[in-house]
Structure 1
Amino acid sequence: MDINKMLKLKKPEPEPITETKEMNKWVSEFIDAREFDGIKKTTITNDVTRLRVFIDFSTQKLNKELDQLQNVDFIKFFNYLDKEKGIKRNTQKRYFDLLKVFYKINRLSNFDEFKEDSEERKRFKRCEVAHYDFIDRETLTKIIDMIAEGRSQTKVRDVIILRMLWDTGCRASEVVNLTYFDVDMDTGKIKVRNTKGKVERTVGCSKDTLNLLKYYSNHQIYKTPKDYIFKNRKGEAKIEVNWISEVFRKAVRKLKESGDIPNNKKLVVHSLRHGRAVDLLDKGFPIDIVKEYLGHSSLETTLFYAHAKEREKKMLDDIMKSL
């Protein structure tokens, strides 16, 4: 008898979805429209998963066609997501945004009442904000050292990716999608093309990172302009974002176990982007420059980092004065 196994909570089995010809027809037409719109494959894949949940609920639980649903039916669906599936408000908003697009694509008007009512009541505005701590250079150095001192065959590549994430402030998906065509190996300037906002921008990396990148590149077999820089161990395909996230997570866990990083620090790969934003603002770079460098679609996103840092400093000063 494995007592440790018995002590662990079992993960609930996902509720099966009944695939029908009608469902596949809706899904196929949705995929065609989104591909024509130029939406990323990963986004389409995630949306299709949610769309199948919605179609299954409507046809199997409510026994209604999608063009027959009324306001009360959409309320039932979102209550189902909340109460039965335990889906948080952030993800519910993704379902809401998906349905807006889906019903617009199919020119169906029966979603309009629920959409207008929800926007008027701001049902999906009160979303939980995922809290990640900003990472600073000192903590990043510890993480990089931990990876560099390990025995992984891909540690050089993994360290370069983390250094580039810090230098450029890029999203992980933007870095893993870089090709040799995107990087000027002489200057260290990098064209970021596969962006979330579909707007190209230019960023840069430090001389040290560039030298490491050159070293890594010299040991690669395939490096034509169209080749991805960061490939998997077999050199067959680009590295997955999940891989670098896992490498980062393992290093953070070990450093927490050794007491080098506080246990209450919540650090993820995206913390590097947060940290770069705060670092640039601390160094006095104008907010509009930081916005462009990081590729924020809205100035409000950049202001969040500025205000968060100001609040942190002010709160600390006020607390220390009261001691």
Structure 2
Amino acid sequence: MGSEFNIKNLLLVKRKRDEIEETDEMRQWLERFKEEREFDGIKPSTIHNDLARLRVFLDFCYNRLGKSPDKLQTHDFVKFFNYLEVERKLSKNTQKRYYDLLKVFYRVLRMYPVIKGFVEESKDRKRFSRIEVKHYDPVDDRMLNLILERIIGSNSRVSIRNALIVRMLWDTGCRISEILNLKYRDCDFDSGVFRITDTKTHEERKVVCSEATLEALKWYVQFNVRQGPDDYIFQKQNGDKLSRDTITKVFNRVVKELKKEGKIPQNRRIVIHSLRHGRCVDLLEKGIPVDIVKEYLGHKTLDTTLFYSHSKERTEKLLKTIKKIL
């Protein structure tokens, strides 16, 4: 049988989580939270994800505890996180997301004293501080070329489009959403300067690409179905906006193939965001000041940029450089 046919997955009984029925009381809390977050300028996708988790919490409050969220005691929060652990079987990292969300929920709805005791107790007992934050490995130029060569493959327009997106991610250091949101009006095809508007930090910035990438991009866009100022640069064949899943799946498939062939080490954690990490490390290695790198990549704080300045790969290269001058 082929690997795509997994009899075990078909026969094992899959446990279904209880479906959440949204009541009028829950809906009122959700709407209040949504209004506050929209007023704060939070991205719709972030609000959508937060509301999904908040439904789980509100359902637990009303259907398990028989209380509204403004009437909870410290131990009620302990019960909720035990529920996430035991019944919903959520990872520690996902539980941390719920913890961070609840702090925001009670703060923006001006009820922080309700959760304050649980937060202080959690800090004292280090409930969430020991959760390991997993970081991805950066891509370097050698690995980038392996990935690009494999993506280009058949030399079809779709393959070239996908490879061009990967190269743009490398050149600009942008997030995948920022590149896919690029419109014609954001691009200066003469200078190779691009205006990034829909950013995580809500601050507009400009990025650039290499001359070679710009030449390839100008060739690619001339065949786009839609070419108006408000049309996206990277499109499906029918002119619609390209989804991030399309590129992510292509990238992950290629990385998996290259690992299987031994061209990328198995222990390297390479994802599409590794291109952004790699660009940061590369700029720092080439002597670009850390504050300039921070602004170019659109990091919210200098701490984020400094994390890459202390990456293992960069440290090892610096040691070799120091040894040469001793």
Corresponding residue for 2:171? Answer: 167
After superposing the two structures, state which structure 1 stretch, 221-230 or 199-208, moved more: 221-230
Mapped pair 1:181 → 2:167: no
Corresponding residue for 2:280? Answer: 277
Change (3 A) 1:147 1:93: same
Change (3 A) 1:151 1:60: farther
Q: Which runs of 5+ in 1 are unaligned?
A: 318-323
Change (3 A) 1:17 1:164: same
Q: Secondary structure at the match of 1:197?
A: coil
Corresponding residue for 1:223? Answer: 227
Measure the CA separation in 1 of the matches of 2:304 and 2:14: 35
Which residue of the other structure, out of 218, 223, 237, is the alignment partner of 1:233? 237
Which residue of the other structure, out of 77, 90, 93, is the alignment partner of 2:93? 90
Mapped pair 1:16 → 2:19: yes
Measure the CA separation in 2 of the matches of 1:95 and 1:11: 24
Q: CA deviation at 1:36?
A: 2.4
Identity of aligned residues (%): 50
Aligned residue pair count: 316
Measure the CA separation in 1 of the matches of 2:259 and 2:312: 24
Q: CA deviation at 1:185?
A: 0.6
Q: CA deviation at 1:76?
A: 1.2
Measure the CA separation in 1 of the matches of 2:246 and 2:278: 21
For 1:263, give the aligned amino acid: Q
Corresponding residue for 1:158? Answer: 162
Corresponding residue for 2:256? Answer: 253
For 1:17, give the aligned amino acid: I
Q: TM-score, normalised by structure 1?
A: 0.89
After superposing the two structures, state which structure 1 stretch, 209-218 or 74-83, moved more: 74-83
Q: CA deviation at 1:287?
A: 1.3
For 1:288, give the aligned amino acid: D
Mapped pair 1:293 → 2:296: yes
Mapped pair 1:142 → 2:146: yes
Measure the CA separation in 1 of the matches of 2:42 and 2:14: 32
Corresponding residue for 2:323? Answer: none
Q: Secondary structure at the match of 1:226?
A: coil
Q: CA deviation at 1:94?
A: 2.0
For 2:209, give the aligned amino acid: C
Q: TM-score, normalised by structure 2?
A: 0.89
Measure the CA separation in 2 of the matches of 1:310 and 1:261: 15
Which residue of the other structure, out of 181, 203, 207, is the alignment partner of 2:207? 203
Measure the CA separation in 1 of the matches of 2:293 and 2:2: 53
Provide the aligned C-alpha RMSD in A. Answer: 2.4
